[in-house]
Amino acid sequence: MAKSHDFQRVALIASDTERAQAAYADMQSAHDWAPLAEADAVVVLGGDGFMLQTLHAMLDSGRVIPAYGLNLGTVGFLMNRYRAGSDIAKRLSRAREIAIAPLCMDALTQDKQHHRFYAINEVSLLRETRQTAKIEVTVDEKVRIAELVCDGVLVSTPAGSTAYNLSANGPILPLDSQLLALTPISAFRPRRWRGAILPDRSTIKLTVREPHKRPVSVVADQKEVRDIAEVSLAIARECELSLLFDPGHALDERIVAEQFVV
C-alpha cells in the first residue's frame, strides 16, 4: 500500500506560459500556499522543461524537496495530468514518491577550464562543425572504443531514456533498473555499434580526439560547454531528487508503457 503524505507547507510555482499562469491564478485560492523557501513540497505548473529547471534550481541551492508537477506544457513526461478544480491536497497525500539521481558531469575544455554540471536526463557530446567527431570511450578506466567516429554520443539516466536518448535509437530503461544508456548519435565507425547498457555504478570518460580539427561541445540537460577535451560522468547519489506522481501515473509505469507505443 502506498504511503500517505502529510505535507504541512506546500509551495506553488508556474512557468511564464499563458496556460501555466492561468492555472496559477485559478489555484491561488485552492490551498494555503507557503513561500518556496519555507515549503516541504512544491507543486510545479508547466511542462517538462520547467520541471527540469525547477529541479536544477534545487540542486544549485542545495535544498531539495519533493516536486509534484501538473502538465501545462506539451509532452509532460515528468508531470501529472492537470485537472481544473481537483483537490490538490488529496492528490498530494496519495501521490507516489519516485527517487531519481542525476549524472554528475565534469568537463575539461581545450583551454584547461573545468566545469561541473548535473544532468537529470542526459549528457550529450555533439560535433560543432561539419567534421564528424572522434571520441574515445572509456568505461571504468578501460578503453572500450578507441575511436568512435560520429555526430556525437550521449549518456542517459532512466528518467531521461525516453527523451533525446530514444530519438537517437537508444534503449528505454525502467526507472528502477539501476542502468545507464550509452548511445551513439549517427555513428559512422564502428558503423554497427548501437551503444551499450551499463550499470549505474559505472564511471564513463569521453575523450575528444583531433579536437582542433573536430571540435566538440557537451550539453548537460540545458547547460552547454564548447570546445571540450574530455568529459567524466558518474551518478551523483548524494544529490537524489524526489518526484511525486498520482497513483497509476508514476514515471516508471510511463517508461514501460512507452515501449508499447506503435
The answer to whether 126 is a known ligand-binding residue is no
- Backbone dihedral angles phi then psi of residue 157, each to the nearest 5 degrees: -80, 165
Q: How far apart are CA 108 and CA 87, in angstroms?
A: 48
Distance between CA atoms of 78 and 47, rounded to whole angstroms?
Answer: 8
Is 48 part of the annotated catalytic residue set? yes
Q: Answer for the pair 80, 230: CB distance below 8 angstroms, yes or no.
A: no
Is 167 marked as a binding-site residue? yes
Q: Is 163 annotated as a binding residue?
A: yes
Question: What backbone torsions phi and psi does residue 6 show, to the nearest 5 degrees?
Answer: -130, 75
Q: Is 151 annotated as a binding residue?
A: yes
Please check if 232 is assigned to a binding site: no
Contact (CB, 8 A) for 232 and 205 = yes
The grid coordinates of residue 26 equal 485559478
Residue 76 marked in a binding site? no
Consult the annotation and say whether 166 binds a ligand. yes
Cell numbers for 152: 556525437
> Within its chain, how far is the Cα of 248 from the centroid?
21
162 a known binding residue? yes
- Residue 167 to residue 186: CA distance in whole angstroms: 11
Question: What is the DSSP secondary structure assignment for residue 207, as one 8-state letter?
Answer: E
With residue 25 as reference, give the H or E element that holds it: helix 18-27
Q: In terms of DSSP H, where are the helices of 28-141?
A: 48-61, 88-94
Which one is catalytic: 6, 40, 48, 176?
48
User: What whole-number distance in Å separates Cα of residue 44 and Cα of residue 42?
Assistant: 6
Residue 49 labeled ligand binder? yes
CB 80 within 8 A of CB 145: no
> Does the annotation flag 122 for ligand binding?
yes
Name the residues annotated as catalytic: 48
Binding site residue list: 48-49, 121-122, 151, 159, 162-167
Binding site residues for NAD(+), as ranges?
Answer: 48-49, 121-122, 151, 159, 162-167
